[in-house]
């Protein structure tokens, strides 16, 4: 009987873990988990560190992806525009540096330095945060609405805007529209968008 139970348990585990990489991630309105990740300055950063924040612009990003490069200035501009309004930018790199050496912690440090990042650039070494959020590509934005001291809800998931190659030809600024709506306590006009991008470089399991 015990043997049957064991076999059943093994079969159950096999079924549960098959194709595991496809985690559903967050939907709009879900509570976003806080994290504690190492910043390029060596200090640990969490959402809860920002006592006065009204929300957050969390961006899964990296050094190497051409889309991340195309959006780099726009990400820097988002923090300049919204940090003072209570919506700081927090960037997180989840790429496995053994697959993408240009995304190592040292390379992250030099990117943050050369571009004068005035926002965190965190390393998600275990990739647990990227998996919990359901981040798939870079840059992938999650706008969070802080509803109480220790709870934030996902208000927008997707792209920064609708034109990757040309910032001057953008017609829909999804992230700005979402944050503006939250600041004005209105409903976010577009809550989910998709964009072409680089896959997050997951560890080989």
Partner 1 sequence: MKRLAFILLGFCWLTASAQSEAPLVKIQHLEKVMQTESDQIQVINFWATWCAPCIKELPLFEKLNADRQDIKVTLVSVDIDLDPDPDKVYRFIARKKLKSEVVILNETDPNSWIDKIDKSWSGAIPATLIVNSSTGKRKFVEKELKEGDLEELIATVKD
Binding site for partner 1 (CB under 8 A): 21, 66-67, 70, 136-137, 140, 158-159, 162-165, 169, 193-200
Comparing CB distances to partner 1, the nearer of 35 and 174 is 174
For residue 185, the surrounding DSSP H or E stretch is none
Q: Cα separation of 181 and 107, whole Å?
A: 35
E strand or H helix that includes residue 186:
none
Least distance (Å) between residue 160 CB and partner 1: 12
Rank residues 45 and 198 by Cβ distance to partner 1 and give the closer one.
198
Q: Would you say 109 and 34 are in contact if contact means Cβ atoms under 8 Å apart?
A: no
Nearer to partner 1, 127 or 136 (CB): 136
Q: How far is the CB of 162 from partner 1 (least distance, A)?
A: 5
Q: How many residues does the chain have?
A: 205
Min CB(65)–partner 1 separation in Å: 8
Least separation in angstroms between CB 134 and partner 1:
9
Task: Name residue, tokens 């496809």.
Answer: 22
Q: How far apart are the first and last CA of the chain?
A: 33
Q: What backbone phi and psi angles, to 5 degrees, belong to 35?
A: -145, 170
54 or 140: whose CB is closer to partner 1?
Answer: 140
CB closer to partner 1, 119 vs 142:
142
- Ramachandran assignment for 86, one of left (phi > 0), alpha (psi -120 to 50 degrees), beta (any other): left
Q: Is 91 helix (H, G, I), strand (E, B) or coil?
A: strand
Do 133 and 60 meet the contact criterion of CB atoms below 8 Å apart? yes
Q: CB of 149: closest distance to partner 1 in angstroms?
A: 32
């Amino acid at each position: 009987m015990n043997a049957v139970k064991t076999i059943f348990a093994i079969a159950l585990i096999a079924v549960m873990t098959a194709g595991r990489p496809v985690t559903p991630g967050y939907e709009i309105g879900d509570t976003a988990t806080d994290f504690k990740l190492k910043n390029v300055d060596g200090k640990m950063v969490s959402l809860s560190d920002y006592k006065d924040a009204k929300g957050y612009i969390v961006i899964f990003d990296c050094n190497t992806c051409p889309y991340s490069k195309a959006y780099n200035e726009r990400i820097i501009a988002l923090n300049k525009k919204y940090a003072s309004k209570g919506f700081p930018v927090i960037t997180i790199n989840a790429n496995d540096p053994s697959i993408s050496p240009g995304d190592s912690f040292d390379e992250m440090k030099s990117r943050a330095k050369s571009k004068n990042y005035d926002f965190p650039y965190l390393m998600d070494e275990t990739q647990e945060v990227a998996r919990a959020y359901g981040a798939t590509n870079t840059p992938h934005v999650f706008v969070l609405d802080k509803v109480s001291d220790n709870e934030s809800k996902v208000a927008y998931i997707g792209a920064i805007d609708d034109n990757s190659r040309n910032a001057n030809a953008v017609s829909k600024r999804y992230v700005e529209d979402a944050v503006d709506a939250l600041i004005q306590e209105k409903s976010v006009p577009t809550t989910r968008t998709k964009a072409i991008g680089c896959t997050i470089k997951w560890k080989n399991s």
